[in-house]
Amino acid sequence: MLPQEIIRKKRNHQTLSDEEIKFFIQGVSQESISDCQIGALTMAIFLNGLNHRETVTLTKAMRDSGDVLDWSDLDGPVVDKHSTGGVGDKVSLMLAPILACCGVYVPMISGRGLGHTGGTLDKFDSIKGYNTAPSNELFKKTVKEVGCAIIGQTGNLAPADKRIYAIRDVCGTVESIPLITASILSKKLAAGLDCLVMDVKCGNGAFMETKKDSEALAELIVQTANAAGTKTTALLTDMNQVLGHNVGNALEMQEAVDYLKGIKQEKRLHEVTMSLCAELLVTAKRAKTLKEAEEKLTKVLSSGQALEKFQEMVSALGGPKDFVSKTEKYLPQAKIIRPIYAKEAGYVNKINTRAVGLALIGLKGGRTTPTQKLDYATGFKDFCQIGDYLDTKTPLAFVCAQDEASFAQAQAELRAAVKLSATEPTVKHKTILKRIK
Ligand code: URA
């Protein structure tokens, strides 16, 4: 078989056989296929698409390009959640310990921030001592003994995706529904999951802005994952404003701990977290209905069990033993923490959520180069929400910055991102837009 013939076939709108797809992915892993051939095939797929069978075969071939984790020694189902990425999305931080209290195991392999969106891994890296790259033994031991562990992608998990993704990133082929599906699922399926729930974000802070595109992505992921043997459902959730109150790595970690303590549980963040957890408990047959699942989840959250579980995970992975009781002591704090106000009073009508994510990058809380070291302390606290009335006494947000120049820049960017109107907004954004089974 010749790689150029496979590329030619897809370029000419033909379908690829399973053998051709497997041959190509094997060549990607063994480096017998060059970067330009990967670039050419992914562009042909971007332009001409893949059918359902081709997408399933590509996903499985990428999954099998490295290790596939085995959890057969555990006495319960192995589950996980994946979000397509948003701004202020700290759901994973609470979801993993809440679920681990409900008889399921959560080995969560998370990623760094991508583009304007935040990454769970960066949030855990804000805890001094917490090891996001433990040995396989420590990862497995933590999942078995605690019930959950949130870590980064291990070296040999779906290595074909690592190579293809890096090439797509610089060849303009990221926003392809079949390629995103195969990329996300190859990593999730390599984690050896029984059940998965996808949080497909939709709106101006998501990669897929329209409901039509988000729905198409969610449907393809659900079909492909189920065909590959992992029971999967998806929720389409709103990303037209910051999720929760805080944006920024340590600030989001603080919000997650406050949420688990019951101090502050922002309504939309709570709805998304509970709904995703409930989906997984039903799929994993730990609850008969979503209502029964929510009752279980509320119990472990309000009793403080989920908070204890979070502490157990942090301790097991090398973090401070008293992290949840002394969170402020362990998380880094910015030099300047100051409220900012809108220039004129009015109702928050629209938020350019992508611009908020980019403003965090301006504060060095997100990356402009792949190897950049982050400033975990920076970001925004108590961010306003659509429908809030802002005046000279009600801040739009608090900016946490390390110097006056970056504070002023963030202030200008946030003022431009938040659009006010004289009357209350008429468009109401539902938090959960659709459930896809
Ligand atoms: N996240 C991934 O892991 N892969 C993609 O292609 C897009 C988002």
Please say whether the beta carbons of 152 and 133 come within 8 A: yes
pLDDT in tens, 342-384: 999 999 999 999 999 999 999 999 988 777 899 999 999 999 9
Helix axes 267-283, 249-261, angle to 10 degrees: 70
Q: What is the pLDDT of residue 175?
A: 83
Q: What is the pLDDT of residue 166?
A: 85
Active-site residues, by number, are 80-83, 120, 168, 183, 187-188
CATH match for 332-421 among 3.90.1170.30, 2.60.40.420, 3.40.50.10860, 3.30.300.30: 3.90.1170.30
The residues near 380 (Cβ < 8 Å, ≥ 6 apart) are 242, 246, 247, 248, 251, 356, 359, 360, 397, 398, 399, 400, 410, 414
What is this structure's pTM? 0.94
Confidence of residue 169 (pLDDT cuts 50, 70, 90): confident
CATH match for 3-49 among 3.30.70.20, 3.40.1410.10, 1.20.970.10, 1.10.3470.10: 1.20.970.10
The residues near 189 (Cβ < 8 Å, ≥ 6 apart) are 59, 60, 63, 68, 225, 228, 229, 230
Among 429, 416, 434, smallest CA distance to 203 is for 429
**184 alpha carbon – ligand 1 mean position (Å):** 5
Report the alpha-carbon distance of residue 201 to residue 213 in Å, rounded: 10
Confidence of residue 262 (pLDDT cuts 50, 70, 90): very high
What residue ranges do the domains of the chain occupy?
3-49, 79-327, 332-421
pLDDT, the chain, mean: 96
Pick the atom of ligand 1 nearest to 176's CA: 6
Please name the fold of domain 79-327: Pyrimidine Nucleoside Phosphorylase; Chain A, domain 2 (3.40.1030)
pLDDT for 144 beyond 90: yes
pLDDT for 322 beyond 90: yes
**Strand partners for 262:** none
Pocket of ligand 1, beta carbon within 6 A: 165, 174, 179-180, 183-184
